[in-house]
């Protein structure tokens, strides 16, 4: 089982909480897992435990702690509105510093990867472009990647989008593809949030395939075997 730990952001020294799930069995690497707009919810903690079962030591930072410590929302319209507000009030430079703190904690033990969903999909892209010490990145339906599309990932990166995602028009995905023609962009017969079994658009087949591609990326980019 995971527990809360404290990270000290490299952006401003702020101490934020993060969910820490130790790896189970042989350690394959570290993983920074990035929340949706809803915060570090039960769903995010369950995903962390799942990746821990696969051998990854997982840290899921609480990026909204400066605004509301321990924020974890449901999927009601009011919660969605608050999560959107918090995401818009959380600047990318600050997010990068929070991410770097998690990467730095995991880095001495071996390769570090990053994965995130929705707002976290864009933050995953941000990490790949700005942070030091990452081996790979896997971003899921990151609508706000379009704000950062002129930045270039510094580690192997893959992206996942749903073909029927009403919040991310096909032309936005195509813009990313044109700007980064060598970057793998996978499209699924699904909508937004297809990886989450809490969402109406959950698609188990797409989720399984995206997870498999993510784990294959982590394995392929890990390099030497990390310590046990």
User: Which entry of 43, 113, 160, 192 is annotated as an active-site residue?
Assistant: 192
Residues 47-94: pLDDT tens digits?
A: 999 999 999 999 999 999 999 999 999 989 999 999 999 999 999 999
Known catalytic residue at 180 = no
3-221 falls under which CATH superfamily?
Alpha/Beta hydrolase fold, catalytic domain (3.40.50.1820)
Q: What is the pLDDT of residue 225?
A: 45
User: Which entry of 54, 65, 165, 203 is annotated as an active-site residue?
Assistant: 165
Residues 125-138: pLDDT tens digits?
A: 999 999 999 999 99
d(CA 144, CA 168): 9
167 dihedral zone (left: phi>0; alpha: psi -120 to 50; beta): alpha
Which helix (DSSP H) or strand (DSSP E) does residue 10 occupy?
Answer: none
User: Cβ atoms within 10 A of the Cβ of 69, count?
Assistant: 10
Known catalytic residue at 165 = yes
User: Which entry of 54, 65, 98, 118 is annotated as an active-site residue?
Assistant: 118
Residues 214-226: pLDDT tens digits?
A: 999 999 999 744 3
Whole-prediction pTM: 0.95
Known catalytic residue at 192 = yes
């Amino acid at each position: 089982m995971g527990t809360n730990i404290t990270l000290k952001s490299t952006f401003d020294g702020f101490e934020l909480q993060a969910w820490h799930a130790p790896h189970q069995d042989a350690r394959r690497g570290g993983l920074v897992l990035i929340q949706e707009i809803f915060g570090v919810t039960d769903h995010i903690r369950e995903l962390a435990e799942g990746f821990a079962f696969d051998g990854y030591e997982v840290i899921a930072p609480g990026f909204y702690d400066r605004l509301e410590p321990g924020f974890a929302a449901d999927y009601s319209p009011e919660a969605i509105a608050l999560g959107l507000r918090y995401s818009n009030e959380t600047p990318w430079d600050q997010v990068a510093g929070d991410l770097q703190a998690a990467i730095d904690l995991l880095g001495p033990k071996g390769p570090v990867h990053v994965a995130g969903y929705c707002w976290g999909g864009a933050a995953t892209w941000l990490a790949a472009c700005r942070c030091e010490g990452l081996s790979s990145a896997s971003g899921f339906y990151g609508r706000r990647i379009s704000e950062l599309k002129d930045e270039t990932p510094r580690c192997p990166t893959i992206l996942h989008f749903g073909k029927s995602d009403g919040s991310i028009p096909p032309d936005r995905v195509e813009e990313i593809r044109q700007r980064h023609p060598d970057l793998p962009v996978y499209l699924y017969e699904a909508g937004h949030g297809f990886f989450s079994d809490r969402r109406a658009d959950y698609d188990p087949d797409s989720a399984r395939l995206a997870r498999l591609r993510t784990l294959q990326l982590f394995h392929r980019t890990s390099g030497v075997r990390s310590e046990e």
